Amino acid sequence: MKGSLIVMIAAGVSIAAPARWVIAQSAPSPQKPVRQSTFHIDGVDSPRTVEELWQRSMVVIEAAVIDERSANTTVLTIGGESAETVKTVYTFQIERVLKADDRTGLQATTIEVERHGGVVDRGAYLEERVEADFPKFKPQKRYLLFLRGRDVSDPYC
């Protein structure tokens, strides 16, 4: 194996709430300022042991990030109002499958993983939503991922 391997535990999530707005120091585009909000995910019951993490995971892989794209959607809140969810879908090149489910199988070469957070172009500025305590995946970096989805129609997270 070449390079370093970053261990990342990806688990299901529940509720996200924006915490604060700040102007980022470095903007991806020199024409548009970036407004950054940080949010925290509540309601995640974290595994206490590696064995428990293995049992909860549908897929365990060693993989490298090869692409990312925005996957923003509008959802209805409990009060009936619409709210935008900002997400990023990462495509990973699978290097080794340690545990597979029926969707992925042992011969899969790529897999998509969805995470809360990302960038939205608001016209006059870019809005970047960042999940506290969960760094963004970096292109070409290798990760050991413990993944699950709520059901077969959900993306892995």
The identity of residue 92, as a single letter, is F
Question: Would you give per-residue pLDDT tens digits along the chain (157 residues)?
Answer: 444 444 444 443 222 333 333 333 333 445 899 999 888 777 677 888 999 999 999 899 999 999 999 887 777 778 888 878 888 999 999 999 999 887 777 788 999 998 988 888 888 998 889 988 888 899 999 999 999 876 655 667 6
Distance from C-alpha of 48 to C-alpha of 55, rounded to nearest angstrom: 11
The answer for 154, left when phi > 0, alpha when psi is -120 to 50, beta otherwise, is: beta
Residue 88 burial (10 A CB sphere; 0-12, 13-18, 19+): buried
> In the chain, where are the structural domains located?
5-147
